[in-house]
């Protein structure tokens, strides 16, 4: 089932798998886990297992049915490179992507090592944007090195939820960086200088910068709804995107 998305940097979501397993600090208050359990309670098809991994082969062909050029976020409710997803199924997902050149597909993973191994002897379709999560230094920075080895047309980082100052980040070979604070009842705060430090490095290294949200804590350090906190960083909204074949 493809769904119109409220995520600011995409248009539609496509979830050929659902469910996941927590592996790092950024996973602690996973929004997808909360949503999956809610959808399970509502008896929505595809979420019968809640947040346990489910392979949904019947969803593979969905983007092929849509002719209008669309920006798809693949597996907003899972991780395509989860150890429970076979190489064969991952290959089927990328075959669909290749068969739908009218669309652009954004694939984000925390399992960067497997991403690099999968594409060691493969070339991603030109309309596949490959990204890794970089929420902190300990878990996230090494993922960038794995991503850099993949010959993707667009390589991107999602620094959300940004949990600490990342320090100096080598963005060589990276085309786009998303930054955002955590939302939800148990959201952890993000300091303005952490986000701005990444913005400045993107500017210096000629990388597109997208500030998604403050989340549950505002720039002033006060907790309130993410809508109230908004998306402005230093009084400006940053919606930069890679320009490669978007439409």
Please state, for a pLDDT cut of 70, what percent of the chain lies above it.
Answer: 98
Average pLDDT over residues 70-82: 97
Residues in the chain: 247
84 Cβ contact list (under 8 Å, min separation 6): 21, 53, 55
Q: What does the pLDDT read at residue 203? A: 98
Q: What does the pLDDT read at residue 98? A: 98
Q: What does the pLDDT read at residue 246? A: 52
Q: Within a domain: residue 60?
A: no
Number of domains in the chain: 1
Q: Within a domain: residue 205?
A: yes
Q: Within a domain: residue 59?
A: no
The yes-or-no verdict on residue 245 having pLDDT over 60 is no
Q: Within a domain: residue 127?
A: yes
pLDDT digits (tens, 9 = 90+) for 18-72: 999 999 999 999 999 999 999 999 999 999 999 999 999 999 999 999 999 999 9
The yes-or-no verdict on residue 202 having pLDDT over 60 is yes
The yes-or-no verdict on residue 190 having pLDDT over 90 is yes
Q: What is the mean pLDDT of the chain?
A: 95
Rounded distance between C-alpha atoms, residue 198 and residue 134, angstroms: 11
Rounded distance between C-alpha atoms, residue 197 and residue 134, angstroms: 14
Rounded distance between C-alpha atoms, residue 14 and residue 2, angstroms: 5
Q: What does the pLDDT read at residue 179? A: 98
What is 105-173 written as a DSSP string? EEEEES-HHHHHHHTTT----TTEEEEEE--SHHHHHHHHHHHHTS--SEEEEEE-S--S---S---TT
Q: Within a domain: residue 184?
A: yes
Residue among 216, 225, 153, 130 nearest 180 (CA):
216
Q: Within a domain: residue 58?
A: no
Q: What does the pLDDT read at residue 2? A: 75
Segments forming the whole domain that contains residue 101 = 79-237
Q: Within a domain: residue 10?
A: no
Output the six-digit token pair for 18: 């659902």
Q: What does the pLDDT read at residue 3? A: 79
Q: Which residue has the tokens 């009842």?
A: 185
Q: What does the pLDDT read at residue 220? A: 96
pLDDT digits (tens, 9 = 90+) for 86-107: 999 999 999 999 999 999 999 9
Q: Within a domain: residue 40?
A: no
Q: What does the pLDDT read at residue 4? A: 85
Q: What does the pLDDT read at residue 1? A: 60
Average pLDDT over residues 131-143: 96
Average pLDDT over residues 172-181: 98
Output the six-digit token pair for 22: 């927590």
The yes-or-no verdict on residue 247 having pLDDT over 60 is no
């Amino acid at each position: 089932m493809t769904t119109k998305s409220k995520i600011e940097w995409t248009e539609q979501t496509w979830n050929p798998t659902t469910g996941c397993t927590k592996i790092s600090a950024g996973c602690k208050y996973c929004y997808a886990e909360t949503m999956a359990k809610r959808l399970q309670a509502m008896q929505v098809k595809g979420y019968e297992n809640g947040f346990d991994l489910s392979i949904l082969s019947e969803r593979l062909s969905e983007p092929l049915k849509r002719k209008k050029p669309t920006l798809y976020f693949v597996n907003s409710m899972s991780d395509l490179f989860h150890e429970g997803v076979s190489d064969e199924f991952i290959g089927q997902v990328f075959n669909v992507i290749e068969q739908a050149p009218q669309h652009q597909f954004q694939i984000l993973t925390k399992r960067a090592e497997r991403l690099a191994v999968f594409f060691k002897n493969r070339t991603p379709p030109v309309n596949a944007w490959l990204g890794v999560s970089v929420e902190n230094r300990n878990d996230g920075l090494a993922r960038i090195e794995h991503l850099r080895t993949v010959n993707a047309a667009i390589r991107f980082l999602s620094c959300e939820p940004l949990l600490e100052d990342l320090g100096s980040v080598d963005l060589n070979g990276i085309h786009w960086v998303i930054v955002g604070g955590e939302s939800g009842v148990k959201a952890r705060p993000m300091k303005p200088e952490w986000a701005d430090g990444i913005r400045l490095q993107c500017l210096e290294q000629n990388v597109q910068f997208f500030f998604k949200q403050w989340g549950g804590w505002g720039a002033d350090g006060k907790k309130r709804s993410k809508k109230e906190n908004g998306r402005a960083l230093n009084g400006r909204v940053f919606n930069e995107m890679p320009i490669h074949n978007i439409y």
